Structure 1
Amino acid sequence: MSTAAANRQFFDAISETYDTKPFFVKVNQEVTDDLRNRLDWIGIPFTNTGSPSDVDSVRQLDYACGTGLMTRVFGPYVTQTLGIDVSPNMVAVYNARARAAGLPPSAIYATVGDLFDKENPSPNGAEWDGFDLVTSSFAFHHFEDVVHAARCLKDHLRPGGVLLINDFLEGGDLKADDDGKPIEGTEGTWAHRHHHGHGKRDEQHHHDRAEAGHEHSREPGTMAASIVAKGASFTIEGVKKFFAQAGLVDVDVVTMGKRVYLEMGGQKLWRTILFARGRRPVEGKFEL
């Protein structure tokens, strides 16, 4: 089974309860608050910020959009968001929430697709190019080839547009006690990890975990067993490296000022979230 197919199967199974746990809600709000305080750092003009640099039109692509965390983060500051996810059920939840909020498809709309498919990337067409901002939330550790993923997303930006991702910092975990309090001196990488396989045993394992109600970590509720892209390092320097290898410039990686609390497959952890930004080069412009 391919990585995309395994992701599709798993997230289809958990779409209805994906981000409903109380700690989900809290972490999502913390991510939202932090990113909204970093609009200047992101490095593109937005709308409705009250700044002299505000523009009339800002287009966002939310890739591996899930139920729409990044769409909600930037909703007040963009004029159109298009989402893509390999999971039809996630897309259905995303669109249902947008319609329930009274937002028309012309402003927010998601579709099923896989831009990383080397034989038949989808969707395609002019409306899927030239974005000011491409976002991907808690998703890159699910991608089989992070350089290819970042390069593909870069190609859907306008020149000067920005790719922004968040994920978990490697080595940034802290164990929690039974009451959820951090245990000092336990820093490390404590979320159990596995790769999606391609055989029947891996498919059954994936199904069994879905039936047991575990979650992956594309939103911060994450199950204890999460895919980690082969050969990828989610340290600050590691993310800078694969962004640069994808041809992005003006790259910066920062972390949230405080850890966030998560319960994952029986584990209680405090985890560090990183944000990474990189820009598609402007043709003919010298970039440091």
Structure 2
Amino acid sequence: MSRPFFAKVNQAVTNDLRNRLDWIGIPFANMGSSSHALRLLDYACGTGLMSRVFGPYVTETRGIDVSPNMVASYNARARAAGLSASTIEAVVGDLFDTRNPSPTGAEWEGFDLATASFAFHHFEDVVHAARCLKDRLRPGGVLMINDFLEGGDLKADEKGEPIEGTEGTWAVHHHGHEHGKKEHSTHQYQPAQVEDEPGWDRAKMAASVVVPSFTIEGVKKFFTEAGLVDVDVVIMDKRVYMEFAGQKLWRTILFARGRRPVDARSEL
């Protein structure tokens, strides 16, 4: 079933982030400030929203997702757009598995920018997740995520119109533990991309939610605990309409940025 709101959410995120390139804080390519190669790691890439957002401003993109269907769709899109595998390619992998993180090797280190879009609410241990992504950055590289703001929901009526005065946190929480209190496990997150694509299992995605939203201070805290510096969290000016776990909501999206210290050593 087609859900037109997916495209609207993706476009809103794209527009907002492209207006915040200076805030992200790296010398993006094709903007007059950098001529060197610039590498993007798109983690939990889904079909590639972050890769499309930043594609015009980087020279190489590598995606990772646990879902083979998502990876296949990601690569098919790239090839259909005439982009070579040397420019953009995704693989099946899980960087958070403490026993066997994958993929490994020099190609998967030293990124200028790492992103995770609508993914951190699926991760069992957000500090571990942020630390793993930080360690894939070059010193001075940036991790940027987007997710949902706690208390930023607004209920919608049957026609999808916002109901004033219903602000709160209305997304369903399927797990019985408090954010940040459970030890890391090898929990396999489901595809978190805000897309309506083959291989995107709506029921499984909803069931895999660990925490449906984050506070600004909470994100700053787990970024800092992961060893990131120059941390900042901002929110989109306007809510976006979504149908989430059977509910019609207007949700608030946050963006968080943190930098790997320039003098940091890899913990891999």
The aligned counterpart of 1:24 is: 6
The alignment's C-alpha RMSD in Å is: 2.2
**TM-score, structure 1 as length reference:** 0.80
- How far apart are residue 264 of structure 1 and its match? 2.5
One-letter amino acid of the counterpart of residue 234, structure 1: F
Q: Structure 2 residue aligned with 1:43, among 4, 10, 25?
A: 25
**TM-score, structure 2 as length reference:** 0.86
The aligned counterpart of 2:249 is: 269
Q: Structure 2 residue aligned with 1:160, among 136, 140, 143?
A: 140
**Counterparts of 1:240 and 1:23 in 2: how far apart (Å)?**
29
SS of the aligned residue for 2:55 comes to helix
Query: Unpaired segments of 5 or more residues in structure 1?
Result: 1-16, 198-214
SS of the aligned residue for 1:250 comes to strand
The aligned counterpart of 1:194 is: 174
Deviations 1:36-76 (A, max 9, x none): 00000000000112x3x223311000000000000000000
Tell whether the 8 Å contact from 1:217 to 1:226 is kept in structure 2 after alignment: no
Deviations 1:165-218 (A, max 9, x none): 000111110001111111111011111121399xxxxxxxxxxxxxxxxx9754
The aligned counterpart of 1:247 is: 227
Deviations 1:238-274 (A, max 9, x none): 0000000000000000000000011224311000000
The aligned counterpart of 2:152 is: 172
The aligned counterpart of 2:71 is: 91
The aligned counterpart of 1:74 is: 54
The aligned counterpart of 1:184 is: 164
**Percent identity (aligned):** 74
- How far apart are residue 226 of structure 1 and its match? 5.0
**Counterparts of 2:170 and 2:213 in 1: how far apart (Å)?**
15
- The 5 A counterparts of 1:55-134 are 55-134=35-114
Tell whether the 8 Å contact from 1:192 to 1:226 is kept in structure 2 after alignment: no
Tell whether the 8 Å contact from 1:233 to 1:239 is kept in structure 2 after alignment: no
Q: Tell me which moved more, 177-186 or 73-82.
A: 177-186
**Counterparts of 1:179 and 1:151 in 2: how far apart (Å)?**
42
- How far apart are residue 228 of structure 1 and its match? 4.1
**Counterparts of 2:176 and 2:50 in 1: how far apart (Å)?**
25
Decide whether aligned partners of structure 1 residues 217 and 183 sit closer, same or farther in structure 2, where only a CA change above 3 A counts: farther
Tell whether the 8 Å contact from 2:49 to 2:193 is kept in structure 1 after alignment: no
Decide whether aligned partners of structure 1 residues 271 and 217 sit closer, same or farther in structure 2, where only a CA change above 3 A counts: farther
Give the total of aligned pairs: 246
One-letter amino acid of the counterpart of residue 94, structure 1: Y
Tell whether the 8 Å contact from 2:70 to 2:191 is kept in structure 1 after alignment: no
**Which structure is higher in helix share?**
1
Tell whether the 8 Å contact from 1:142 to 1:226 is kept in structure 2 after alignment: no
The aligned counterpart of 1:236 is: 216
SS of the aligned residue for 1:57 comes to coil
Tell whether the 8 Å contact from 2:44 to 2:66 is kept in structure 1 after alignment: yes
The aligned counterpart of 2:194 is: 219
- How far apart are residue 233 of structure 1 and its match? 6.8
SS of the aligned residue for 2:12 comes to helix
